[in-house]
Amino acid sequence: MLSIRNLWASVNDSDILKGLSLEVGVGEVHAVMGPNGSGKSTLARVLAGREEYTVRADTLTYCGHDLLSMSPEERAREGIFMAFQYPVEIPGVSNIQLLKTAYNSLRKHRHEPTLDAVDFLAMVKACLKQVGMEAGFLQRAVNADFSGGEKKRNEILQMLVLEPRLAILDETDSGLDIDALRIVAEGINSLRSPERAIVLVTHYQRLLNYVVPDCVHILAEGRIRRSGGPELACLLEEKGYGWIAAEDDSTVGGTA
């Protein structure tokens, strides 16, 4: 579904991703872990289409589409969703307005009839319940004066409403208390299906206790350094990130 080969991304002439490669198959859940500054969020933003990065790659395709030629909204309409690490506050635009406009843009793109207000509201209310939010929340301005946990749950709500084919969650677990983490995890799990893929960008193994990934990747210095199963995350939790660098150094030393 997502195929990345030799991806380079830089901002202000400084390289952040340096030849990253990653394959995500349909129906799979991948976790991308790594220390601060390793390029995890850059990867998520580049996939969503953030424009301030200079990006080049041998291959960067999603369901056969060349991502680099697509605008952020085209990517979203083709089914890519990024949950933001820091969801943006938009005073003056209500949640329901955002959800409805976004949802109908997607339906229009798929040549499906747009939903009327009543049907849409019924659908959204079901999703609201899933993330444990009150209906009054819909009239509030997008993320404005939301707590950290509410903002993250709001991202999950949008994801549930928009039903993406590829969901990229950028540190959605950071800053959540245990109950909120469980709600967020349940939201992600409910979306898990053979037609979808999920990429979890995270610092901690904690989320992976709830959402068990098929693959875990360790990103450091702009490249995937290790890939493995869920056990890799446990190893990280135990030993930290230092050992990878040390091991890599010794490998480099050995071949020199």
Partner 1 sequence: MKRGENTFSLRDIATGFGCCQQHLSGAKLDWLQNYREAALAQLRQEGLPWRKTEDWKYTSVRALMTREFALALTPIAVRPERMPTLPDVEHRAVMINGCFSYSLSQLKTLPPGLSVSSLAAALVSHPQVLQDRVGATAVLERHPFAALNSAFFHDGLVIEVASGVRVTEPLFILGWSGGVPCRLTQPRLLIDLGKGAELTLMEHYAGDGVGHFNNQLAEISLGENAQLTHVTLHQAAGDHLIHGTHVRCGRGSRYRAWNIDLDGVLLRNDLAVRLAERGAECSLDGLFLVGESRHVDNHIRIDHQAIACRSRVFYKGLLGKGGRGVFNGKVIVHPEGQQTDARQVNCNLLLARDVEIDSKPELEIYADDVKCSHGSTAGELDNDSLFYLRSRGISLPRARTLLAEAFAREIIDRMKVSIEDGKMLCHWVTAKLTPQLHQLANREVTL
Site residues (CB under 8 A) for partner 1?
48-51, 71-73, 75-77, 81-82, 84, 87-88, 90-93, 97-98, 101-102, 105-106, 109, 141-142, 158, 162
Cβ at position 160, least distance to partner 1 in Å: 13
Measure CA 53 to chain center: 17
Rounded to an integer, what distance in angstroms lies between the CA atom of residue 166 and that of residue 247? Answer: 33
3-state secondary structure of 140: coil
Specify the 3-state DSSP secondary structure of 23.
strand
> Helix, strand, or coil here: 165?
coil
The CB-of-142 to partner 1 minimum distance in angstroms stands at: 8
Nearest to partner 1 of 62, 84 (CB atom): 84
Question: Which one, 60 or 162, has the nearer CB to partner 1?
Answer: 162
Query: In the complex with partner 1, which residue's Cβ is closer, 41 or 205?
Result: 41
Give the nearest distance from C-beta 29 to partner 1 in angstroms.
21
- Nearest approach, Cβ of residue 86 and partner 1 (Å): 9
CA distances for 239 relative to 92, 208, 233, 242, angstroms: 46, 17, 10, 7
**DSSP assignment of 72-116, as one string?**
HHHHHHTTEEEE-SSPPPEEEEEHHHHHHHHHHHHHHHTT-PPPP
Least spacing, CB of residue 253 vs partner 1, in Å: 43
Distances (CA, A) of 39 to 19, 72, 93, 97, 146: 11, 19, 31, 33, 27
Report the distance separating Cα 135 and Cα 133, nearest Å: 7
Q: How many CB atoms lie within 10 A of CB 134?
A: 9
Q: Decide whether 52 or 238 has the Cβ nearer to partner 1.
A: 52
Of the pair 11, 141, the CB lying nearest partner 1 is at 141
Q: Nearest distance from residue 98's CB to partner 1, in Å? A: 7
Instruction: State which residue, 67 or 76, has the beta carbon closest to partner 1.
Output: 76
